[in-house]
Amino acid sequence: MIRSPQPQGMVALLAVVLIGALGMASVAAILLLGTDASRTAFFLQQSAQAAAAADTCAEYALNELRKDISYAGGQTLEFGSFSCQVLPLSYPSIQVQGRSGAMLRKAEIQVSASDPQIAVGSWKELADF
Protein backbone atom coordinates (compact mmCIF):
# COMPACT_ATOMS: atom_id res chain seq x y z
CA MET A 1 0.00 0.00 0.00
CA ILE A 2 1.35 3.35 -1.07
CA ARG A 3 0.58 6.42 0.96
CA SER A 4 0.40 9.85 -0.52
CA PRO A 5 2.70 12.25 1.19
CA GLN A 6 0.83 14.67 3.46
CA PRO A 7 2.33 18.05 4.18
CA GLN A 8 3.48 18.44 7.74
CA GLY A 9 1.46 20.89 9.86
CA MET A 10 -1.70 20.95 7.72
CA VAL A 11 -3.92 20.29 10.75
CA ALA A 12 -2.20 23.03 12.74
CA LEU A 13 -2.54 25.49 9.86
CA LEU A 14 -6.26 24.74 9.47
CA ALA A 15 -6.76 25.15 13.23
CA VAL A 16 -5.03 28.56 13.19
CA VAL A 17 -7.10 29.74 10.20
CA LEU A 18 -10.34 28.53 11.83
CA ILE A 19 -9.54 30.18 15.17
CA GLY A 20 -8.58 33.40 13.38
CA ALA A 21 -11.87 33.43 11.45
CA LEU A 22 -13.87 32.89 14.64
CA GLY A 23 -11.93 35.67 16.36
CA MET A 24 -12.57 38.08 13.48
CA ALA A 25 -16.29 37.24 13.50
CA SER A 26 -16.42 37.88 17.27
CA VAL A 27 -14.66 41.23 16.92
CA ALA A 28 -16.99 42.28 14.09
CA ALA A 29 -20.07 41.34 16.17
CA ILE A 30 -18.80 43.32 19.18
CA LEU A 31 -18.09 46.37 17.01
CA LEU A 32 -21.58 46.24 15.48
CA LEU A 33 -23.19 45.93 18.93
CA GLY A 34 -21.15 48.91 20.15
CA THR A 35 -22.26 51.00 17.17
CA ASP A 36 -25.93 50.13 17.82
CA ALA A 37 -25.59 50.97 21.52
CA SER A 38 -24.00 54.31 20.71
CA ARG A 39 -26.70 55.15 18.17
CA THR A 40 -29.43 54.22 20.68
CA ALA A 41 -27.83 56.41 23.36
CA PHE A 42 -27.67 59.32 20.92
CA PHE A 43 -31.38 59.02 20.06
CA LEU A 44 -32.30 58.72 23.74
CA GLN A 45 -30.36 61.91 24.44
CA GLN A 46 -32.14 63.73 21.61
CA SER A 47 -35.49 62.46 22.87
CA ALA A 48 -34.76 63.74 26.40
CA GLN A 49 -33.70 67.13 24.98
CA ALA A 50 -36.92 67.33 22.93
CA ALA A 51 -39.00 66.54 26.04
CA ALA A 52 -37.13 69.21 28.01
CA ALA A 53 -37.72 71.71 25.19
CA ALA A 54 -41.45 70.91 25.19
CA ASP A 55 -41.59 71.38 28.97
CA THR A 56 -39.72 74.68 28.60
CA CYS A 57 -42.29 75.95 26.10
CA ALA A 58 -45.11 74.81 28.35
CA GLU A 59 -43.63 76.73 31.29
CA TYR A 60 -43.09 79.73 29.03
CA ALA A 61 -46.72 79.62 27.84
CA LEU A 62 -48.01 79.32 31.42
CA ASN A 63 -45.90 82.31 32.45
CA GLU A 64 -47.09 84.37 29.47
CA LEU A 65 -50.69 83.41 30.23
CA ARG A 66 -50.19 84.45 33.86
CA LYS A 67 -48.86 87.86 32.72
CA ASP A 68 -51.52 88.36 30.03
CA ILE A 69 -54.72 86.32 30.19
CA SER A 70 -55.30 86.97 26.47
CA TYR A 71 -51.98 85.36 25.43
CA ALA A 72 -52.61 83.55 22.13
CA GLY A 73 -49.53 81.33 21.72
CA GLY A 74 -48.20 80.62 18.25
CA GLN A 75 -44.54 81.17 19.17
CA THR A 76 -41.33 79.30 18.45
CA LEU A 77 -38.36 79.42 20.81
CA GLU A 78 -34.85 78.43 19.66
CA PHE A 79 -32.21 77.01 22.02
CA GLY A 80 -29.14 76.22 19.95
CA SER A 81 -29.52 72.64 18.75
CA PHE A 82 -33.13 72.25 19.88
CA SER A 83 -36.33 74.27 19.69
CA CYS A 84 -39.89 74.30 20.90
CA GLN A 85 -43.18 75.68 19.71
CA VAL A 86 -46.24 76.90 21.57
CA LEU A 87 -49.11 76.17 19.23
CA PRO A 88 -51.96 78.71 19.01
CA LEU A 89 -53.92 78.39 22.23
CA SER A 90 -57.37 76.89 22.27
CA TYR A 91 -58.44 77.58 25.84
CA PRO A 92 -58.31 75.66 28.21
CA SER A 93 -55.66 73.62 26.37
CA ILE A 94 -52.01 74.58 25.81
CA GLN A 95 -50.28 72.42 23.21
CA VAL A 96 -46.50 72.49 22.86
CA GLN A 97 -43.90 70.52 20.98
CA GLY A 98 -40.15 70.25 21.40
CA ARG A 99 -37.66 69.21 18.74
CA SER A 100 -34.08 68.04 18.97
CA GLY A 101 -32.58 66.64 15.80
CA ALA A 102 -35.03 64.09 14.43
CA MET A 103 -36.91 63.74 17.72
CA LEU A 104 -40.24 65.47 18.33
CA ARG A 105 -42.03 65.36 21.69
CA LYS A 106 -45.48 66.83 22.33
CA ALA A 107 -47.33 67.83 25.48
CA GLU A 108 -50.75 69.17 26.30
CA ILE A 109 -51.58 71.14 29.43
CA GLN A 110 -55.16 71.71 30.57
CA VAL A 111 -55.52 74.94 32.57
CA SER A 112 -58.14 77.02 34.24
CA ALA A 113 -57.26 80.68 34.43
CA SER A 114 -58.66 83.58 36.35
CA ASP A 115 -56.58 86.71 36.44
CA PRO A 116 -53.86 86.42 37.90
CA GLN A 117 -54.22 82.78 39.04
CA ILE A 118 -53.63 79.81 36.73
CA ALA A 119 -54.38 76.26 37.82
CA VAL A 120 -52.95 73.32 35.91
CA GLY A 121 -55.52 70.55 35.68
CA SER A 122 -53.36 68.05 33.78
CA TRP A 123 -50.02 67.88 32.01
CA LYS A 124 -49.68 64.98 29.58
CA GLU A 125 -47.13 63.96 27.02
CA LEU A 126 -48.91 62.88 23.85
CA ALA A 127 -47.94 60.95 20.76
CA ASP A 128 -50.10 63.26 18.67
CA PHE A 129 -52.59 66.08 19.23
Q: Give the tens place of pLDDT for each residue, 4-27.
A: 666 677 888 888 889 999 999 988
Torsion of CA 67, 72, 54, 82, to 10 degrees: -100
Determine if residue 24 is left, alpha or beta; phi over 0 gives left, psi from -120 to 50 gives alpha, anything else beta: alpha
Cis, bond preceding 116 (omega within 30 deg of 0)? yes
Please report the domains of the chain, with CATH numbers, ordered by start residue: 10-126 (3.30.1300)
pLDDT per residue of the chain (129 residues) written in tens, 0 to 9: 566 666 677 888 888 889 999 999 988 888 888 888 888 889 999 999 999 999 999 999 999 988 888 889 999 999 888 999 999 988 789 999 999 998 999 999 999 866 667 888 899 998 887
**CA distances, 9 to each of 2, 6, 13, 66 (Å):** 21, 9, 6, 85
